[in-house]
Amino acid sequence: MKRQTRRKRTSERLLEIFQAYLLNHAHGLFSSLGRLSRAPVTSSMTILVLAVAIALAGCFYIVVANIQQLTGNLQASNQMSLFLKDHVNESAGQKLADELAQHQRIENIKFIGKKQAMEEFKANSGFGEALNALESNPLPNVIQVLPKDVLDNREALDALMAEFKQMPQVDFVQVDMQWVERLQAIMRIAGRGVTLVGVLLGFAVTFITGNTIRLELHNRQDEVFISKLVGATHAFIQRPFLYTGFWLGFIAGFSAWLIITVMLLIVETPVEKLSGLYNSSFQLLYLSFSEFILLLMMASGLAVLGSWAVLHYQLRQLKPQ
Amino acid sequence: MLRFEHVCKRYPDASDALIDVSFRLERGEMAFLTGRSGAGKSTLLKLIAMMEQCSRGNVMLDGKDITRISERKIPYLRRNLGLIFQDYKLLNDRTVFDNVALPLIVSGYSHQDISRRVRAALNKVSLLGKERKYPLSLSGGEQQRVGIARAIVNKPKMILADEPTGNLDPDLSSEVMHMFEQFMQVGVTVLIATHDIELIQRLGHRVLTLDNGRMLAS
């Protein structure tokens, strides 16, 4: 009987400690927020610095994501255009195309006559009226060639190009989509750039928060000393400071999202106008919900990390006198 | 309860604060620690409160060797001590209640327990009804009593007081000393550092005297 009551007491005490622990966390969470709001100028300056750093990385990211969206649909291919000389008329051009169709290294071939090219250009470019004013058709006859070897075999491609250039009817040869390949290479570099800038600014967030917490710890030295003297563990003492770090990161992350969104809203109209001029249905990309959540998590995570590193080191140094 | 065995303390600047100090205090004993300024009183208290570590010898507290205690265990052992300071060391941005509650919050007591114990402690130092006040709105004597309430709220086994009456007038001083005697009577060990010779003689408890780091009489 006695033992049972004792066991009950122990479990009750454990429950009590657990409840007190939760209460302590809740208290840390809200009191640190209250403390931040009681020093609005200092807090908002820190948060703003953090937010700008995060927004910088975020903007870079979203710009690259938008360009990638634009170029992602473009397929790089080795399709070439053979521009025929002026004196080659349409029937001669068509004949040449038929001959080339027999070529063993060619997959597919398409002849585009002057007139057809002009019609397409009028329809797609938006210069219809202006083009009507032209007296003669300045466009050349073109043969589009899709070689059998795709992309990888650069040498075979070059040899094929050289062969076409030798033909008396051909004015010049152009690999149509080579620029896409180049652009995609550039975009890969930009993607790496986003990662690097992100890491760098992540460090900035960590160190800025760490330094802010260090100052805060310095300001509340007495509290730390007294808590230590009445038997507080490091975990207990650092808890409110960690929550302060968390809030700094969280609010800064949210502010960064606001900054990015407002900036996108500002450029949206001109971008849409530009895309309209290109007859494109380009839609400006905003941060998605999951990206927004990820942003918040990374911002608060880095801030907590910075705070923790500083507290871990400094609390050992602070000895009550 | 407390035992010093050939304790030496040398600070990094090579000054000897304590030289071969040995003494023991039994459970429920009350003693005064005296000596001129710089005789090593504060150092001795700091060794007990685990704020410093001795260079040689052993310090035993409540049967545990705290000579080279690990940093991790210190908080839990400090919960058995009630510390009282000459400058009170209260948090001025918190109410009397919150100040006294701090040792309980730190040890993870429930809300109801904290409330009950804080009231009991404040009652003992006759400050019930001032829970919502802030320390700076209280007199020096009242602030010291808040400090005492904080020291006893956790029901410590030992109370260490560093010049607790240093800033108080004689009437308040004897009132505070009377409180300490009450704690002693319920089995708490009390060690008071002071150089108020007159007060010591009047009360007639055991006296430990330090002179230049050596213990003269115990």
- What confidence tier does A3 reach under pLDDT thresholds 50, 70, 90? low
Range list of H helices, B34-138: 41-48, 74-78, 96-106, 111-124
- Amino acid A296: pLDDT: 96
pLDDT the model gives residue A170: 87
A-chain residue closest to B94, CA distance: A223
**Cα–Cα separations (whole angstroms), residue B211 to A12, A39, B9, B175:** 51, 49, 14, 28
**Whether pLDDT at A46 is above 90:** yes
Residue B104 in contact with partner chain A when CB distance is under 8 A: no
pLDDT of A4 higher than 60: no
Question: How many CA atoms does the CB half-sphere of A67 hold within 13 Å?
Answer: 16
Helix A40-72 × helix A2-38 angle, to 10°: 90
User: Which residue in A21, A230, A319 is closest to B103 by CB distance?
Assistant: A230
A24 reaches B (C-beta below 8 A): yes
Q: Tell me the percentage of chain B whose pLDDT exceeds 90.
A: 43
Q: What is the pLDDT of residue A50?
A: 95
Summarize the confidence of residues A25-40 as an average pLDDT. Answer: 89
Q: Left (φ > 0), alpha (ψ -120 to 50) or beta: where does B6 sit?
A: left
In this structure, which amino acid lies at residue A167? M
Render the burial of B106-145: b for 16+ CB within 10 Å, e for the rest.
bbbbbeeebeebbbebbebbebeebbeebbeebeebbbbb
Residues spanned by CATH 3.30.70.3040 within chain A? 80-176
Q: pLDDT higher for A253 or B37?
A: A253
- Residue appearing with tokens 């917490």: A213
Beta-carbon separation of A20 and B109 below 8 A? yes
Sign of CA dihedral A199, A201, A203, A206: negative
Residue A175 forms beta bridges with which residues? A80
Distance from CA of B81 to the nearest CA of A (A): 8
Hey, what domains does chain B have and what are their CATH numbers? 1-80+157-218 (3.40.50.300), 85-155 (no CATH)
Rounded CA-CA distance A257/A265 in Å is 12
State chain A's mean pLDDT as an integer: 86
Given the candidates 3.30.70.3040, 3.40.50.1820, 3.30.1650.10, 3.40.50.2300, the CATH classification of the domain at A80-176 is 3.30.70.3040
Distance CA A197, CA A169 (A): 52
Q: Contact B46/B52 with Cβ under 8 angstroms? A: yes
pLDDT tens, B54-68? 888 999 998 888 888
In which region does residue B14 sit, left (phi positive, over 0), alpha (psi from -120 to 50) or beta (all else)? left
How far is A8 from chain B, CA to nearest CA, in Å? 16
Banded model confidence at residue B133, pLDDT cuts 50, 70, 90: very high
Residue with token string 């939760």: A22
Mutate to test the interface with A, among B69, B70, B76, B102 (most CBs of A within 10 A): B102
| Residue among B57, B67, B42, B87 at smallest CA distance from B191 | B42
C-alpha–C-alpha distance, residues A239 and A247, integer Å: 12
Write b or e for each residue in B158-176: b if 16 or more Cβ atoms lie within 10 A of its Cβ, otherwise e: bbbbbbbbbebeeebbebb
| Contact status of B109 with chain A (Cβ, < 8 Å) | yes
Q: Please give the pLDDT value at position A151.
A: 52
CA B17, CA B43: separation in Å to the nearest integer? 7
Q: CB distance A230–B91 less than 8 Å?
A: no
List, for residues B177-192, the tens digit of each pLDDT value: 888 998 889 899 999 9
Size of interface A-B (CB pairs under 8 A): 62
- Mutation for testing the B interface, residue in A230, A233, A237, A312 having most B CBs under 10 Å: A230
- Asked if B209 and B203 count as a contact pair (C-beta separation under 8 A), the reply is no
Q: How far is the C-alpha of B183 from the C-alpha of B187, rounded, in Å?
A: 7
Query: Closest by alpha carbon to A61, among A263, A276, A301, A275?
Result: A263
Helix axes of A178-219 and A234-277: crossing angle, nearest 10 degrees: 150
Residue A82 tokens, joined? 């053979």
Q: Kindly give the residue spans of alpha helices, DSSP state H, lying in chain A.
A: 2-38, 40-72, 90-100, 114-125, 128-132, 154-166, 178-219, 221-229, 234-277, 289-317
- Say what the pLDDT of residue B193 is: 92
Tokens representing B98 are 């919150």
For residue range A288-301, list pLDDT tens digits in order: 999 999 999 999 99
Residue B93 in this model has a pLDDT that exceeds 50 = yes
In tens, the pLDDT along A101-152 reads 888 778 888 888 888 888 887 777 667 677 777 777 888 888 888 887 655 6
Residues of A in Cβ contact (< 8 Å) with B76 = 231, 233
Answer yes or no: is pLDDT of B217 > 70.
no
Let me know if A83 is exposed, middle or buried by CB neighbors in 10 A (0-12, 13-18, 19+). Answer: middle
pLDDT tens-digit map of A169-205? 888 888 776 777 788 788 889 999 999 999 999 999 9
- Around A58, how many Cα atoms within 13 Å sit in the side-chain half-sphere? 31
- A225 vs B89: CB contact, 8 Å cut-off? yes
For the cut 60, the answer to whether the pLDDT of residue A1 exceeds it is: no
Q: What are the Cα distances from residue A271, in Å, to A256, A265, A278, A279?
A: 22, 10, 11, 12
Position A277 scores a pLDDT of 84
What is the arithmetic mean of pLDDT over A308-315? Answer: 93
What's the token pair of residue B85?
Answer: 């300071």
Positive or negative CA dihedral for A276, A278, A279, A282?
A: negative
Asked if A90 and A141 count as a contact pair (C-beta separation under 8 A), the reply is yes
Instruction: Answer left, alpha or beta for residue A2, where phi above 0 means left and psi between -120 and 50 means alpha.
Output: alpha
Contact B81, B72 (CB under 8 A): no
Question: Which of B39, B41, B44 minimizes the C-alpha distance to B54?
Answer: B44
pLDDT tens profile B137-174? 998 889 999 999 999 999 999 999 998 888 788 888 88
Collapsing DSSP to helix, strand or coil, A12 comes out as helix
At B15-46, the pLDDT tens digits run 888 899 999 999 989 999 998 888 888 889 99
Mean pLDDT for chain B overall: 89
Percent of chain A residues past pLDDT 90, beyond the cut:
39
